[in-house]
Structure 1
Amino acid sequence: MLQLDNISLTFGGDYLFDNISTVINPGERIGLVGPNGAGKSTLLRIIAGELEISSGDITMSKSATVGYLPQDGVDPDPELTVYEEMEKTFEGIRELEQQVQQEREKLASLEEDSAQYQKTMERVGSLQSRIEHSGAYSLESDIEKILMGLGFTPDDFHRPTTEFSGGWLMRIALGKLLLRKPMYLLLDEPTNHLDIESLRWIEQFLQNYEGAVIVVSHDKAFLNKITKRTLALEHGDLLDYSGNYDYYEEKHAERKEHLRKAYENQQQEIKEIQEFIDKFRYNASKAAQVQSRIKKLEKMDKIEIDEREQEISFEFPPPERSGAVVMELENIRKQYDNNVVFEDLSYSIDRGDKIAVLGPNGAGKSTMIRMIAGIEDIDRGQREPGHNVTTSYFAQHQADELNLDHTVFETMREAAPMAKETRLRTILGCFLFQGDDVFKKVSVLSGGEKSRLALARMLMQPANFLIFDEPTNHLDMQSKNILQQALKQYEGSFMIVSHDRDFLDPIVNKVLEVRPNETNTFLGNVSYYLEKVREREDEQKESASNENSSQDKTLSRKEERRLEAQKRQQKYEKLKPLKKQIDPLEEDIELMEARKEEIEELMAESDFYDDQEQVKEISVEYEKLKAELVETYAKWEELATEMSKIEEEFS
C-alpha cells in the first residue's frame, strides 16, 4: 500500500498542492488527469522520490518498488546496444547467482544434519527465490518480447543506442521499466512516442500487469482501456473517481453543474447582501444589521469557477473549393542511403477526404505526408496537386523554426496580419495561452508550448488541404476537443498522422495504412481499421495453426512418462523455495486475523471506552495490526501469483 498523507508543495509561496491525500493499493489501474499546469508530472516525481514536498508524508511497505517513466530526458549508455541497455536492468542478478554458487560450495563441507547446513540451505533457497522472482530465468525471452512489442525488430537489438531518435530512446526506457516489473509503475505520457501497433501491445501488457499502474495521458481511449480509477488534480486538490476516464468525465460534468448552480446562488446572495449594506450603511437604526452582513460577507467561503472550464471554440474560415482531385502521387520512389522507403507508390486524394495515416514507426508515414506537402524531394515519379489546392502543413519540428525574439501574440499576428485581435486571442486560448501568456517571448517557452504555438499559427493560414504530423502530442483534453470540433466542421480535406484513436474516430472517413513496401486504404474510421486488422491477424494465426497441426509428431509412451517426470521435478524445484516462504506468511496472517477479531470484540464491549489508557493502547495496536496485515497480504499475493504462474507453466 502506498499512502500520501496531507501532501503540500509550494512554489514561490503559491500552493501547487494543498494537503492532498490518497491511498494506492497493489494492482490498481489509475489515471491521473487535470489541465496542463495542474501538477500531474510533479506528483509522479514526488511519488518516485525525485522531488521533495513542502509538508506531509509518503509511506509504503519496505518491499515496495517504484518505477517512473518521465515524458522526456532519458539518457541511455551510448556505448551499449539496445539489447545490452535492456539487460542492464538485471545487472544485480549476476551477483546473486555468484552468491548462490558460493553457498552451494559451502554445503559440500558441512554435515547434512548440522544447524549450519540448514541455515545455508535456507540462504540458498532465499537467494534462488529472489532470482526466480526477478524473472532472470526468462530474461532473454522477456527482453525480446518487450522490444518486439514496442516496435523494435531483431536487427535493432544489436544496434548502438546512439543510432536511435529521442522517441525510440523513450521506448527503450519504457521497455526497461516493464522488464523490472516494479510494484508501482508511474508512466508520464507513455503513448506519445508509440505507433498504433505498439499502443495496442502496451494496452494488453498493462491490462495483465501485476503491479499498480498510475498513468498520465491525454489519450482518452488509452485511459478508458486500462484504468479503473481516476485521480483528478484541480485547484491544488486531488479528487477521487471510482471509474475510468469516461466515468470521470460524466461525474466531473455533474460536479461542474452543481458548482455552477451553487456559484450563481452565492452570487445572488452576495448581491442582495451588498445591496442591503449600500442602502442602509448610513442608517443608525440599521447599523447592527449592516455590520452583521459585512461580517457575513467577510467570512463567506467564496465559490470560484475555473476560467479554463468555460466553453472555448474556434472555426476554420470557409476554404476556397478545390478541384475533385486534391493530390495525385504516381510511381513515386523515395530512398535514404540504402533504405528504399517507397517504390512505385501511387496514391490519390479526393476532395472531402479526411484521412488518418497509421502504421508502424519507421514505415514512412511522415516521409509520405512530407512528400504530399511538397517539402520532401522525390527521387522518381510525379506529385500533382489538384486545381486550386492550397496546402497548410504542421509537424513537431516547426516549433524550432519560430522566431525566438517575437512574443506569442506577434507570432500569431505575423501569420494573420488582417485578423482581429479577439480572434487571435481566442485561438491562442484554445491552445493554453491565456492572459499575459500571449506577451511571453518565444525564447522562454518550453518545447510543448512552442509546438502548441506552431500549431495555432498554422491554423491561421487559410487552406483547403491540411496536413498534420502528430498534432495532439502536447495538447490537453480540452485543447484536443476544441481542435477536434473545428476539424469536424472543416469543409476542406485533411491528412493526419496520429495514433490517438479517440481524437481521430469522429473526424476521419479513411485510413491509410503505411507499412514497409506497401500501403492499404480502409474506408472507415480508426475503430473500423483496427477491427479489420484483428480479423487479418486472426486469419494469419489460424493459417499458422493449421500448418503446425499438419506436422504431427508422436512420442513413445516411455518418452512421454520420462518428460512428465522431468516436468514434475522441475515444477517441484521451482515451487519449493516459494512454498517455504508462503507457509510462515499464512501462519502469521492466521494469528493476526485472530488477534484482530479479539480486538474488535473487545472494542464492541460497552465499557471498553471507560478506560482511556486502554483505548489508546488497543487503538494503536489495532491500527498497526491492520497495516501489517495489508503488507503481509501483499507479500502473500505476490508469492501466490508467482506459484500460480509456475502451476500454469507446467499444467
Structure 2
Amino acid sequence: MSLLTITDLTLRIAGRTLLDQASLTIEPGRRIGLIGHNGAGKSTLLAAIAGDIAPDGGSITFSGRATMGRVKQETPSGDLSLLETVLNSHEERTRLLAEADSTTDPTRLADVHERLLAIDAHSAPARASTILAGLGFDQEAQKRPVNDFSGGWRMRVALASALFLAPDLLLLDEPTNHLDIEATLWLENWLARFPGAALIVSHDRALLDNSVQAIAHLDQKKLSLTPGGYERFVQIRTEQRLQQNRQAEKLADQRAKMEAFVARFRAKATKAKQAQSRLKALARLPQIDSVVEETPTRFSFPDPGALPPPMLKLEDVSVGYGETAILRRLSLRLDSDNRIALLGRNGHGKSTFAKLLAGQLSPMSGEVQASSRLRVGYFAQHQTDELILDETPVQHMARTLKDATPPQVRAQLARFGLDAERAETPVRNLSGGEKARLLLALATRHAPHLLLLDEPTNHLDLDARDALIRALGEFEGAVILISHDSHLVESVADQLWIAENGTITPFDGDMDDYRSWLDERAKQATQDNQRQASRTQKDTASTTQPDKNQQRAQRKEQTRQLAPLRRKIRDLETRLERLEKAKSQLEAKLADPNLYQSSRAEDIATLNSDLALVSQKQEETEMHWLEAQDELENATN
C-alpha cells in the first residue's frame, strides 16, 4: 500500500506550467531525493503535497491515517525555550499533558495516561534534546528563548521540530542550507536511520548519496524515479541517454535508406510495389529524437597572476567584535597554491576569520603580513541582502567596475552563466541561484589572488555546483572554503583547518578522518554524560535509602516506563518475521528456473528490486531491534 500517490499532477504558477501530468508513488519507509534545476517547481510540489496550494489537474492522495511533517519557510518565535518549542510541536502530547493536569474523571485520566504511554511521552524531552544537540544547540542554548536566536538558527529549531515529530512522511526543502558541516553529517546519519518516508529537496550530493534510496527527477515538467543515490542516478541517466541516442541514430539510418530507395525506384513500374511497401514501412517507424543536451553550466575565474610567497601571514593575531575576542593567538600562513576548507560548528569563528582576511575586521592584537599587491575576493551568502532589487546585474557590475567597457562588464557576468537576458533582469526577479552567481561575479571582478567562499552553494543547483568545482580546479589562486557541502570540500580542498575553542588549527587528515573524529568525539560526550548521570544516581542513593514501599513503587514505575519499549521490541520482532517470510518467498521465485523462461526481463528486475528493498528493510529493522534491546538492558541493569 502506498503512502503518497501523485497521479497526472498539473501545477501552474502565475500562468507558467511547472508540472504537466506528472506522477509519483512513495511507499511507507521510502526516502526519496527530489532534484531539478532552480525554478523547476520542486518547492511548489512540496507545497501542493502539504495542501498549501491546490493542483490545477490530477490528484495527490495521502494515506488517511498517516501523519506528515514539514519544515516551512516561517521560522518559530516567542519566549519559550528551544526545548519547550520543540516539545510543543507535538500537539497531541501537549494537549494530553494539559488534560492530565486538569481532568477529574478517573476513567478519562486512565485513558489519557494510556495514550501518553503509547506515544512515548515520557521520553520526549530526551529525544528532543538529542535532536537539538545534533543540530548544534548545547544544553545551555536549549534553555534559552527562541527570540534570542537569528533566523538561520531558528530554521534549525523548525527542522528539529519536524524531526522530533517523526511523522510517516517527512517533507524537507533544502534542509542543509542553514547547517554547518557537523550538523549536516548528523542529519545524514539521522535520516539514514529514520523509519518513516521522506521527500527531500536537496542539491547536496553527499546527503543524496548517503540518506536516500531513490532519486525523483523533475525535468521537462515530468517526474521520473531512479533507484539509488545521486551518483547512481547520474550513471543510469547517462546510460539511458546514450542508449536513446544510439537508437535514434539507428532509426535515422534506416529511415534514410528507405527514403533513398523510394526516391530512386518510385517511378519505375518494376519497383513500384516495393517502393509503396517501403513508404508504408517508413510511416510505421517510431519517432525517437536524439537527446539534446542542455548547454552545460560553466563558471570561470579570472587569472590573478603570480605573487611571491608568502601570500599572507598571521602572527599571534586576535580578532573579534568590540571588546570581545572570537579568535585568539592565530599564527597561520597562506600561499598561492593553498586550497583550504575551514570546518567547525557555526558560531566558532569561521566567518569572523574570513572577514579578517577580507579586511572587513581589523586585528585586536598581533600582526597581519600581506603582499602589497594582494587582491582578495570575498563571497558571503548574507551579501544577497546588499543587492539593490530594482537594479540589473549589468548595473551592479558597471557601478563596481567603473573603468570597464560594456562588453567587459557583460563578459564578467557571463563567466558565471548570467547570459544577456538574465544580465538585464532586475535582481528582485532573479532566483536564489542567479543571485549567488551575481555575487560570485562581483566578488571576482578584480581577479583576486585569494578567494574566500563562505557557503557559496546554498542556492546553486547540482549542475552549478559541479561548474563551481570545475572552475575552482582551474583557478590559479588560493582558496579558503567554508561550506556544509562535503562533496564540494572533498573535491576542492587539500587541507582542512578547524575553528574551535577560540582558535584555528590545521587538521591532519581528510574528510573521512574528520567524520571519524566527530563520531569518536560524540561517543565520548555520550559516555561522559552517562558517567555523570551514574554518579548523580549513586550520590542520590547514598544520601537517600528508600524503604521497601518506595522500592516497590520504583519497580512499578520502572515497569510502567519500560512498557512502551517492550511493546516496541515485540512489534519489531513481528515485523522481522513478516520480512523474513516475504524475503523467502521472493528468493523462492527468483530461484525457480521457469521464471526466466516465461517472464519478461522487467518482471525479473522488479522481483530483484523488491528483494533488495525487503533485505534493506530487514537490516534496518534488525538494527532498531538491537538498539531497543540494548536500551532495555541498560535500563534494567
1:61 match: 63
| Structure 1 partner of 2:96 | 96
Matching residue of 1:575: 563
Cα deviation for residue 426 of structure 1 reads 4.9
Query: Unpaired runs of 5+ in structure 1?
Result: 108-119, 594-636
> Counterpart in 2 of 1:87?
87
8 Å contact kept, 1:364–1:514: yes
- Establish whether residue 155 from structure 1 lines up as the match of residue 143 from structure 2: no
Q: Distance in 2 between matches of 1:320 and 1:166?
A: 40
CA contact (8 A) 2:69 2:167 kept: yes
Task: Give the deviation of 1:231 after TM superposition.
Answer: 1.5
Q: CA deviation at 1:199?
A: 1.7
Q: Is the 8 A contact 1:398 1:451 kept in 2?
A: no
Q: Which residue of 2 aligns with 1:49?
A: 51
Contact 1:412 1:457 in 2 (8 A): yes
Alpha carbons of 1:188 and 1:502: their partners in 2 closer, same or farther (altered >3 Å)?
same
Q: Is the 8 A contact 1:323 1:389 kept in 2?
A: no
Structure 1 partner of 2:311: 326
Q: Does 1:345 align with 2:333?
A: no
* Structure 2 CA distance for aligned equivalents of residues 306 and 560 of structure 1: 80
CA displacement, residues 66-121 of structure 1 (integer Å, 9 cap, x when unaligned): 11114xx3232334343342232135434324545777x545xxxxxxxxxxxx4x
- Give structure 2 stretches of 5+ with no counterpart: 582-620
Tell me the TM-score normalised to structure 2 length.
0.77
CA distance in 2, matches of 1:647, 1:343: 46
CA displacement 1:294-317 (0-9 Å, x = unmatched): 997899656363543x44434434
Aligned to 1:74: 74
Number of residue pairs the alignment of both structures matches: 584
Deviation string for 1:108-147 (max 9, x for gaps)? xxxxxxxxxxxx4xx6665334323434212322232222
In 2, Cα distance between equivalents of 1:200 and 1:418: 45
Q: CA deviation at 1:462?
A: 1.2
| 1:195–1:499 CA contact under 8 A, matched in 2 | yes
**Structure 1 residues 404 and 174 mapped into 2: Cα distance closer, same or farther (>3 Å)?**
closer
Letter in 1 for 2:338: D
- Asked whether the 8 Å contact 2:152–2:178 carries over to 1, the reply is yes
| Distance across 2 between alignment mates of 1:474 and 1:394 | 13
Distance 2:409 2:280 in 1: 41
Distance 2:24 2:227 in 1: 13
SS in 1 for 2:80: coil
How much does 1:221 deviate? 1.0
Output one character per residue of 1:444-485: Cα deviation in whole Å (capped at 9) or x when no partner.
224443222211333443122111111111111111111101
Distance change in 2, residues 1:480/1:340 (3 Å): same
Q: Give the whole-Å Cα distance in 2 for the aligned partners of 1:434 and 1:7.
A: 34
The CA deviation at 1:188 is 0.8
What is the rounded CA distance, in whole Å, between the counterparts of 1:426 and 1:250 in structure 2?
Answer: 30
Alpha-carbon distance in 2 for matches of 1:293, 1:422: 52
TM-score w.r.t. the length of structure 1 is 0.76
Which residue in 2 is equivalent to 1:608?
none
Question: Out of 335, 338, 352, which is 2:320 matched to?
Answer: 335
Cα contact 1:510–1:521 (8 A) shared by 2:
yes
Q: How does 1:532-543 map to 2 (within 5 A)?
A: 532-534=517-519
Which residue number in structure 1 is paired with residue 474 of structure 2?
489
**CA RMSD in angstroms, aligned pairs only:** 4.6
**Contact 1:501 1:527 survives alignment (8 Å):** no
- How far did residue 577 of structure 1 move? 12
Aligned to 1:2: 3
Partner SS, residue 471 of structure 1? coil
Give the whole-Å Cα distance in 1 for the aligned partners of 2:163 and 2:390: 42
Q: Once the two structures are superposed, what CA deviation does each residue of 1:374-431 show, in whole Å capped at 9, x if it has no partner?
A: 12233333222136422211111333334545433554566564866995575343xx
The match for 2:210 is 225
* Contact 1:326 1:349 (C-alpha < 8 Å) held by counterparts: yes
State whether residues 7 and 53 of structure 1, in contact with CA within 8 Å, keep that contact through their aligned partners in structure 2.
Answer: no
Most deviating of 502-511 and 3-12: 3-12
CA spacing shift, 1:42–1:137, aligned 2, 3 Å: same
Against the structure 1 CA distance between its residues 642 and 506, is the aligned structure 2 distance closer, same or farther, given a 3 Å change threshold? closer
Greater alpha carbon shift after TM alignment, 484-493 vs 293-302: 293-302
Residue 220 of structure 1 aligns with an amino acid whose one-letter code is: R
CA separation of 1:438/1:198 partners in 2, compared to 1, >3 Å: closer, same or farther?
same
Q: Is the contact made by 1:2 and 1:58 (CA closer than 8 Å) also made in structure 2?
A: no
Partner of 1:615: none
Q: Distance in 2 between matches of 1:272 and 1:561?
A: 97
Separation in 2, partners of 1:326, 1:353: 10
- CA pair 102-435 structure 1, distance change in 2 beyond 3 A: same
3-state SS in 1 of match to 2:90 = helix
Distance 1:404 1:18, change over 3 A: closer
- Aligned 8 A contact 2:7 2:21 in 1: yes
Partner Cα separation in structure 1 for residue 285 and residue 396 of structure 2: 45
Q: Among 387, 405, 415, which residue is 1:427 paired with?
A: 415
Shift of the 335–100 alpha-carbon distance from structure 1 to 2, 3 Å rule, reads closer
Q: Structure 1 counterpart of 2:42, which letter?
A: K
Are the aligned partners of 1:129 and 1:578 in contact in 2 as well (CA < 8 Å)?
no
| Structure 1 residues 341 and 227: CA distance shift in structure 2, 3 A | same
Partner residue of 1:32? 34
**Structure 1 CA distance for aligned equivalents of residues 396 and 268 of structure 2:** 57
Structure-to-structure mapping, 1:297-312, within 5 angstroms:
301=287, 303=289, 305=291, 307-308=293-294, 310-312=295-297
Q: Which amino acid aligns with 2:176?
A: T
Q: Any idea what SS the aligned residue of 2:44 has? A: helix
Q: Return the offset for 1:361.
A: 0.4
One-letter identity of the residue aligned with 1:9: T
Residues 449-598 of structure 1: matches in 2 within 5 Å? 449-534=434-519, 566-567=554-555, 570-571=558-559, 575=563
Query: Is 1:146 aligned to 2:134, yes or no?
Result: no
2:597 aligned partner = none
